[in-house]
Amino acid sequence: MRVLLTLERFDKDYRLLERRNQWSRSFVKSIIDLLYIQMSQRSRTATYGPVYDTDMVPAYLDSEARDSSWYRTPAMRVANAGFLQLVAMDMADWPLTRQMVLGADLGIQVGTGTDPVTPLDKRLANRIGCGRRAPDGSNVLMDSNTLDDDQDGTIQQQYWRAQQYIPFSNFKLSSVKIKVWKSGNPTSDLTFIVRPHYRQLAYNTSPYPLDLGTVSVPASSISGSSPGTWVEFTLPTPVQLQAGHRYWMVFKTTGGDGSNQFRWRYDQSGSPFGRSMSDYPVSAVYSPVQTASSNDSGGSWTDYAGGCHMIEIYGQSYGDLEYGSCDVYGLSISGPNGEFTVRRFFENKCGSPITVNEVGLVAVGICHSTTSTTQNAHLIPTLVARDLISGGQVVANNEILKVTYTPQITV
């Protein structure tokens, strides 16, 4: 079998401007994982894994074949109805809001990254977001919660604090500012860590122990007076955040005690980032944006619905493309040979040209909570292919890019 990758560029009136073809040689390990799960009909009591989602978090997957009360969902689904639509797993005895992902998270993806392709790739190096946001020339304030702080969150030795965050658009996180002060005289650095969300768990919404980025500031730079001042933590390398995905802003230190500690200010009863849950992408609403604390150095977490730490989030957009639906069509059989097509359109409405350097294909996997074999199923976006585009493909403002994967069997 071989797969033809085609990129076609059109003007706003859909006149063809350019077409380029290359053979895709970059299917990654996860495609074998998902094929095996689907073909072997792995049950929830015999999960397979780990297989990694596009935030590089592991999950143990199954084929969702159990009994007549659960509908089967193929583990290789890539088609969807568009970026504003949802991909849902139909389940007879559990709310559908738990089984949804944004349409843009499945199917063909594009990005600006140029990192070499490897069989162990888990996501595009720098996925282009879905939307109309223009590139930012510098780092800007992306989100914040700065009002009505009425409590202190303690950070010392094994006591860590975390704020869950769901971005509305794709961007590179460059820094955060928090309102913090020190009680007594802690001498160890205060450390900021960006971590992904552990999607496989249900309401126990833990940060997964993978450091996407980290930076520390010395204790001497932090005020010793309540209610504190705003302190910035600038990451040495910006971290890619994807719209609708959940991340954790974690803070820790290595020293201190009950008399010498850092205190991160927060609003105990207010809405996270000043928004209600109805403002968030539907893929996230089954679990409220939360604060969390750990008393064993991040080994386990206690989460709190509602409320929000005092935090400002800074980053930079590199420009968005509007994602159309991802379609599977055109099955053609002629003698022993056959082919079909996976296609997606991308339209540039961000006001600036964007260069596409990588293309990928994301399929869905299914996992269940490690603490339940009958509920808590989740859809897991999993990268199955990634290809680099030699020299890049520039898509000017108001132009349309059509990307097509055509698997072919020839004898």
pLDDT digits 0-9 by tens, 339-380: 999 999 999 999 999 999 999 999 877 765 544 444 456 677
User: What stretches in the chain show pLDDT beneath 70?
Assistant: 44-45, 63-76, 79-101, 199-205, 270-272, 274-289, 367-378
Which residue type does 253 have? T
Q: What pLDDT sits at residue 381?
A: 85
The pLDDT value given to residue 98: 44
pLDDT of 67 reads: 41
pLDDT of residue 332: 92
Burial of 4 (0-12, 13-18, 19+ CB in 10 A): middle
What phi, psi does 403 have (nearest 5°)?
Answer: -115, 130
Check residue 271 and give its pLDDT.
Answer: 66
The pLDDT of residue 282 is 44
Give the pLDDT confidence of 74-131 residue by residue, as tens digits.
Answer: 456 776 655 444 444 444 334 333 455 677 788 999 999 999 999 999 999 999 999 8
Question: What is the distance between the alpha carbons of residues 147 and 275, in angstroms, rounded to a whole number?
Answer: 12
> Which pLDDT score is estimated for 179?
97
> pTM for the whole thing?
0.86
Distance of alpha carbon 347 from alpha carbon 338, whole angstroms: 30
Q: Please, what is the Cα angle at 381 between 378 and 382, to 5 degrees? A: 125
DSSP symbol at 219: G
Alpha-carbon span 264 to 226, nearest angstrom: 10
Q: What is the pLDDT of residue 279?
A: 54
The pLDDT, as a whole number, for residue 159 is 96
Q: What residues contact residue 173 under an 8 Å CB cut-off, 6+ apart?
A: 142, 194, 213, 235, 238, 239, 240, 241, 313, 314, 315
Q: Beta-carbon neighbour count of residue 70 at 10 Å?
A: 18
End-to-end C-alpha distance for the chain, whole angstroms? 9
Q: Are 34 and 75 in contact (CB under 8 A)?
A: yes
Burial of 372 (0-12, 13-18, 19+ CB in 10 A): exposed
The first and second tokens of residue 392, run together, are 């890049």
φ/ψ (deg, to 5) at 235: -70, 140
Domain-wise residue ranges, the chain:
2-134+319-409, 140-316
DSSP class of 257: B
- The full DSSP string for 146-171 is -S---EEEEEBTTBEEEEEE--SS-E
Domain spanning 140-316 has what CATH number? 2.60.120
Q: What is the pLDDT of residue 14?
A: 95
Query: Nearest Cα to 316, choosing from 392, 235, 245, 223?
Result: 235
